[in-house]
Amino acid sequence: MVIDRRCLVGSVLAGLALPPALAKAALPDKRLYLSARRSGDGAFWVSAFTAQGVSHLDVPLPGRGHSFAVQPDGPVAVHFARRPGRFAKVLDLREGRALAEIEAPAQRHFYGHGVFAAEGALLYATENDYEAERGVIGVYDASAGYRRLGELASHGIGPHDIRLLSDGETLAVANGGIATRPDLPRVKLNLPSMTPSLVYLDRRDGRLLEEVRLAPELHQLSIRHLAVGADDHVAIAMQYEGPFGDRVSLVALHRRGGQPRLLDAPPSVLRGMKHYCGSAAFDHSGRVLAVSAPRGNRLVFWDVEEGRFLSSVELADGCGIAAAETPGQFLASSGVGGVVLVDAVSGLSHQLASDFLNGSQWDNHLLAADI
């Protein structure tokens, strides 16, 4: 058996030499990592655990879960069902329990992502108005039992990830461009004509502030996941629906008012990503970007400031990825079980020693929450 570097459990992780000013000054009381999982008996759960791999919250789900909206400075997170699910769980992260369940309205289903407004009162969720084949952003009032106040147009088909920029008013939405219907749950309907976009909306009135598209020949690059780094750099992680042999970049960066910039990687890494990014996250400094490629069993890292490829690390069905407390480091979860701590510069990783983590199949996303 070939021993590769990431299997050297307990290897010493080299720190990144980043300017200290970039690192956030105060560390939180407690950082939790949130993810959905499937247990050995096939049941679905939403869970939270510490950086040491200790389980802190474990709530059963009626179906497969996807991602979270985490209330800023608050103890609440909302976990959304995976497309085309219609449930969302409101979780108290401090108490480690579910508080309530939100149901998508008639003729809508969740796409699996959402975000809280800065003050934590309003929740925005990406949803499918499938009869009209248009994406919408459902707006929910957290202070009134998550009553649905209304919806904003996503200005595209298949809105997936959604983030808030640092001004507290601008929403970034990834319109994947792929039409689906709940009665054909996993069938992609419009690949020849898809036109994905990254849009910026004013969360107060839904006004379209900016619409970003890649070159027309890249219209089959579905813009799916987002991460927001330092200076509101928006990273987009994509999935290519075009021919198997095409060699295309799968990650791009954008800043308001600018042109999208595709991030390059060595050809073998690009090929190894298998046309498919699962999730994206910036490190604690907002400078290092991590993108998971579960079909290629790898994690890929870039230095965003220099637009430079850093490293690629193997992880079987590695998909969930979140900033660890040390800049340049991430926690990443595997769909076949286990969670690793990985360093973007050295490419070294080690698996957290935890029967709970090892015994679960971790689903698409891993998010950090400070409580």
Partner 1 sequence: MSSLRVGFAAALAMALCAGSTAAEGLGEPDYAEVNAAIVEQHVLPRYEALAEAAGALDTAAAAHCAKPDGDGLEELRRHYHHTMDAWMGIQHVQFGPIELFQRGYRLYFWPRGQGRIAGAVDELLAARDESRFADEAFRKASVATQGLPAMEQLLYSEARVFGASGEALWRCRLLTAISANLRDMTVEIVADWQGGRVAFARSMAEPEPETGYFGSHKDGTLELFKSFYTGLQLIADARLSPVVGQSLETARPRMAETRLSERSLRNVVLSLEALQALYLGENDGPGLGVLVVESGSDAKLDPLMRRAFEKTLATARGIAPPLGEAVKDPARRTQVETLRTQATAMKQIVETRMATVLGLGVGFNALDGD
> Counting contacts by CB under 8 A, is residue 353 touching partner 1?
no
DSSP output for 229-279: -GGGPEEEEEEE-S-TT-----EEEE-TTS--EEPP--HHHHHHTTTB--E
Pick the binder of partner 1 from 11, 170, 354, 358 (CB under 8 A): 358
Site map 277..316 versus partner 1, x via CB under 8 A? -x---------------xxxx----------------xxx
SS (H, E, C) 340-362: EEEECCCCCEEECCCHHHHCCEE
> Counting contacts by CB under 8 A, is residue 189 touching partner 1?
yes
Site map 100..139 versus partner 1, x via CB under 8 A? ------------x---------------------------
> Counting contacts by CB under 8 A, is residue 361 touching partner 1?
yes
> Counting contacts by CB under 8 A, is residue 216 touching partner 1?
no
Neighbour tally for 359: CB within 10 Å: 12
> Counting contacts by CB under 8 A, is residue 364 touching partner 1?
yes
Site map 17..56 versus partner 1, x via CB under 8 A? ---------------------x-xxx--------------
Nearer to partner 1, 16 or 293 (CB): 293
Bridge partner residues of 210 (DSSP): 200
User: In whole angstroms, how close is the CB of 300 to partner 1 at the nearest point?
Assistant: 15
Where does this chain touch partner 1 (CB under 8 A) — which range of 88-96, 162-170, 181-189, 305-313? 181-189
Q: Which of residues 324-343 bind partner 1 (CB under 8 A)?
A: 334-338, 340
Cβ contacts of 236 within 8 Å, gap of 6 or more: 174, 198, 223, 224, 225, 226, 251, 252, 253, 254, 260, 280
> ∠351-353-359 over CA atoms, to 5°?
90
User: In whole angstroms, how close is the CB of 62 to partner 1 at the nearest point?
Assistant: 16
Q: Which of residues 192-211 bind partner 1 (CB under 8 A)?
A: 192
Nearer to partner 1, 40 or 257 (CB): 40
CA dihedral of 112, 365, 299, 294, whole degrees rounded to 10: -60
Cβ contacts of 45 within 8 Å, gap of 6 or more: 36, 37, 38, 39, 58, 59, 60, 61, 65, 360
Cβ contacts of 268 within 8 Å, gap of 6 or more: none
Token pair, residue 326, equals: 């040390």
Nearer to partner 1, 19 or 245 (CB): 245
User: In whole angstroms, how close is the CB of 319 to partner 1 at the nearest point?
Assistant: 4
> Counting contacts by CB under 8 A, is residue 144 touching partner 1?
no
Pick the binder of partner 1 from 47, 71, 175, 239 (CB under 8 A): 239
> Counting contacts by CB under 8 A, is residue 79 touching partner 1?
no
Cβ contacts of 54 within 8 Å, gap of 6 or more: 354, 356
Residues 75-90 as b or e (16 or more Cβ within 10 Å = b): bbbbbbbbbbbbbbbb
* Residues of this chain that bind partner 1 (CB under 8 A): 1-4, 6-7, 38, 40-42, 66, 82-83, 112, 160, 179, 183-187, 189-192, 224, 239, 242-245, 267-268, 271-272, 276, 278, 294-297, 314-317, 319, 334-338, 340, 351, 358-359, 361-364
